[in-house]
Amino acid sequence: MTDVIMPQMGESIFEGTITKWLKKPGDRVERDEPLFEISTDKVDAEIPAPAAGVLKEIKVSEGQTVPIQTIVAVIDGGGASVAAAPPPAKVEAPAATPESKRTGPPASKPAPSDVPRPVAAAAPHVDAERVRSSPLVRKVAKEHGIDLTQVPGTGAGGRISKKDILAAVESGVGRGPAAQPGQGQAGGTVHAALESAVPRERIYFGRYEVQPMSVMRQKIAEHMVASKRVSPHVYSMDEIDMTRIVQLREEERRRIRRDLHDGLGPALAGLTFTLEAVRNLTESDLRRADELLVSATEQVQTMIGDVRRLIYGLRPPTLDQLGLAASLRGLASQESSPGTSVTIDAPSSLPQLPAAVEVAAYWIAQEALTNVKRHAHARTCSVRVAVEPTVLRLEVADDGGGLTNGSTGIGLHTMKERAAEIGGTCEIGTRAGGGTLVAASLPRRTPEATG
């Protein structure tokens, strides 16, 4: 006796499903002859017989899934003698005919008994499942209505290969009349109402055929469901109004363009003329050339200051290094001149403020002091910083000429935009005693920080 076990088709495969038995109990099998078909997570295959003999018992039926190394069938190695037993059994059938002859009338029945013999001989020829072929070959034959018993096999032992079935499909060999699409199933009558009615599933999916799932497809379906359940399938979307930010960016570009065009550009042009004059005077008037070089040095220093101011206007580095209070003191000292005295009244240290509030306060103070220096013609200017429970107050006052009627410069608009951007306010007006007052109220907690 030889046990047929469920083989292991891979390192990660630990079970298999028997999809079809190619032999029945009592059938003669040869060694390495396909015995049954299995399906696993990764592969479908035909399993050959481990030994020659007669298939004595099938322990696992079709459709069952069992672990590897499970005994699924038993082959009797002494099947040669067992296979020889059926011929004597058939000899006993003629032995019954003499008994029937003794009865008299039934003697005429031996002739009919001879008729079934050709039919019995033709039965093995019609059984297409006994033809040696792979599952793929049988699937193609089923789809094209080809009788495998009529297809010659060129493989080992007359096995029908994929090449043989494809050649039969092209030539039409073995195509039977059963595969006619126009006839109803089993010759049944099809009513017009039922024929015209379309099931809802067919409306959604078209023509389809329900088939049992293989083990591989079951595993794929399980993994797809697990992926749907475990993997995140959500998204978060926030809408942000960038209008004010874009406007502020454009205002900054215009300010930088104005400063470059009105300040640094003319200064560079004037320096070019000065250096050209120095070159012309080097041979005729050295004293005058020396005076022009001194003037050119002063122009270069002024331009360096303008460039530094533009850089600091983009992102004041002193805020990160010194803090807001010390940065405002340095700004007041920088903007002071012999003609205009700038003083500051602020606490020695300020509480921790949001970065946006510090940047807005610094820029508003810088823009206000720049306007005082360039346009106010003031003698004194004061900067006051006060910290209240909910707001930071910044005031810049001067005793200059004040605002003219209809003053709408870019700098004034920029100061208001910077305050509004963080939820604050900035008011610009004329002082009662003369001059200009810039009063900004900035929240100590921005909307982003409170949210």
Instruction: Tell me the pLDDT tens digit for each residue of 75-93.
Output: 988 754 444 444 444 444 4
Average pLDDT over residues 13-36: 89
CA distance linking residue 163 with residue 186, whole number of Å: 32
What letter would DSSP give residue 344? E
Which conformational region is residue 112 in: left (phi greater than 0), alpha (psi within -120 to 50 degrees), or beta? alpha
- Under the banding of pLDDT at 50, 70 and 90, the label for residue 447 is low
User: Percentage of the chain surpassing pLDDT 70?
Assistant: 77
| Average pLDDT, integer, range 292-320 | 81
- The whole-number pLDDT of residue 127 equals 52
pLDDT for 79 equals 54
pLDDT for the residue 82: 42
Neighbouring C-beta atoms of residue 104, cutoff 10 Å = 8
**Rg of the chain (C-alpha set):** 51
Task: Compute the average pLDDT of residues 118-124.
Answer: 40
The pLDDT, as a whole number, for residue 427 is 92
Determine the Cα–Cα distance for residues 203 and 226; give it in Å rounded to an integer: 29
What are the residues whose beta carbons fall under 8 Å from the beta carbon of 84, sequence distance 6 or more?
Answer: none
Q: What is the mean pLDDT of residues 256-265?
A: 78
Tokens of 285: 């008037």
pLDDT at 187: 43
Mean of pLDDT values over 131-149: 81
Between 42-46, 114-118, 163-167, 309-313, the lowest mean confidence (pLDDT) is in 114-118
Locus of tokens 């300040």:
263
Among 221-230, 329-338, 401-410, 423-432, which stretch is predicted with the lowest mean pLDDT?
Answer: 401-410
What residues contact residue 436 under an 8 Å CB cut-off, 6+ apart?
A: 371, 372, 376, 397, 398, 400, 402, 403, 428, 429, 430
pLDDT at 254: 80
The DSSP H or E segment spanning 395 is: strand 391-398
Helix, strand, or coil (residue 397) = strand
Least confident of 129-143, 181-195, 289-303: 181-195
Give CA–CA dist 14/5, Å, rounded.
13
d(CA 263, CA 190): 95
User: How do residues 348-365 score in pLDDT, each as one tens digit?
Assistant: 888 888 888 888 899 899
DSSP 151: S
Question: For the whole model, what pTM was predicted?
Answer: 0.36
Strand partners, 391: 443
